[in-house]
Chains A and B, each alone.
Chain A
Amino acid sequence: MTDQRLNPADLASALARRGSLPRRYCEDFVRSFFDIIEEGLVHDNLVKIKGFGTFKVVDIDARESVDVNTGARIEIASHTKVSFTPDTALRDAVNKPFLAFQTVVINDDTDIQKMEAIEEETEEPQVETPATEEPVLEEPVTVEEPVAEEPVAEEPVVEAPVVEEPKAEAPKAEAPKAEAPVAEAPVCEKPCRCHCFWHTLLWLLTACLFLILGYCAAYYWRPIELPTFTCDEPATEVVEPTTTEPTDSLAAAADQGAATVASAAKNYPQQEDGDYWIVGELGTEKMTAGKTLLNMALKYYKDKKLFTYICTMNGITNPDIVPLDMELRIPELKDKKTGMTPIEVAEAAKNQ
């Protein structure tokens, strides 16, 4: 275990080595990485990063407590706390040495105090053996296959696995009296059984591997059918036609609005089966790295599904391929029925 203390610069150089990238660039990237997390925390109170974890700003209510020095009652004011929950993958990776362990039910007749006494006894020699963190962490692995690694169990040095024996197995076998000499006997018996077990496990694993490989091969050999979006896809229909039953006067006004909208719509390319007419231009936006059509739709209409209208307006047939630096015209949209903009439609839907 390399118990190092790292700073972002160390991390950046490690990253540069791993990805064979320029160091300067990595430093910059690492800094941005944490900056953006902070920005997200300040604005959204929540940042999720796949494979890493979730940062959250948690509110903590005011509570009463006692001053440790004076014993007087004090109130801890409500405040916020930044919490971090690692992703399952990361959590398991960090906990790798102990991953084999599971919570065990202790039988009622097991005497914990006796177990602890045994632990204390056996822990002493353990400290005398090379007392770095290493052996302690390796233990859980060796509990499963104490013999596979060191079949010479007679040596008194291999007391480490024996130490674990009473701890892990005592609950199951009612053997609080699992003292060292008794526990040593089963250790010597185990080798052949263990070997059999590991062999079958190995075979099973290879069989599984082949199955998975076969499945993957079958999956990828199928002719690749990319879901090509075309601009006249009726994706926009999801916007609910909630405003279909307004009151009479509203309906009349809406009809009028719709009529003027329809006339204005003639000057622009239209999307036949959508809910909106394109009636004008809100402006232009340059396609640069990091931007997407969905982002733009979100920015202008607060609804990313409406990106198809940007495609229609600019004659883009495949929204997955938009050339860099292309000037995109952002269409102004009006609902075909009510003449409202997408943002108004969304608000109306929310109010209902």
Chain B
Amino acid sequence: MRRNSKEFIRGIKAGLPIGAGYFPIAVAYGALAMEAGLGIRDASLMSLIVFAGASQFMAAGMFIAGAGGLQIIATTFFVNLRHLIMSLSVHHKLEPTGLGLRALVSFGVTDETFAFLTLQTEGETSKINPYFTIGLNTAAYVGWNLGTLLGCFSAQIIPAEISTAMTFGLYALFIGLLMPSVRRSRVAVVVAGASMILNTLFCLVLDTGWAMVLATIAGAAIGTAVSEGEA
């Protein structure tokens, strides 16, 4: 018991940089979600129960674009499906533990907590304590949700002329998320470029939401085919 609470606190400390990193991004999410027409309740509920940054911004973007519910859910599904693989490696490194704790650890799997848990402990043969993992996830979770609340409230004091320009902050976020990968990998360039072209074409015949879903699936598949050819 003593050991578990110690591990939990050690996890929180290790997770503070992640939570601090999430905070300003969550402020931006909160403000944009309000701009997308979600109230404080729905905007913060999304951070509380979905807890997946990129997909939350995408959902806000799709709300603004007027996409339907099923389309938003479908995009969220495909975008967050990568957490399946991440969760797999996290659980692989985890000390054997009960179902409840495993379910809790699973909830906190994000790109950043995954990267920390698998990269920081790379080469170490010892397994990770589940309480440490939950502490780490908690720090990230608290940072994300506090930021969301602040963003929701700050949205109300942003002047109207700026707030129409704020949707461009959303595009800037998407560009900012994409650029590091585009610099690093040719596949990312092909994938993003292909889905931009496909989405533009699909938009001519389909409504915005389904065009995005299809362009996402097909764009990713084109990139996979290209990288298969290289290997």
A pairs with B: no
- Residue numbers of A with Cβ under 8 A of B are none
- Residue numbers of B with Cβ under 8 A of A are none
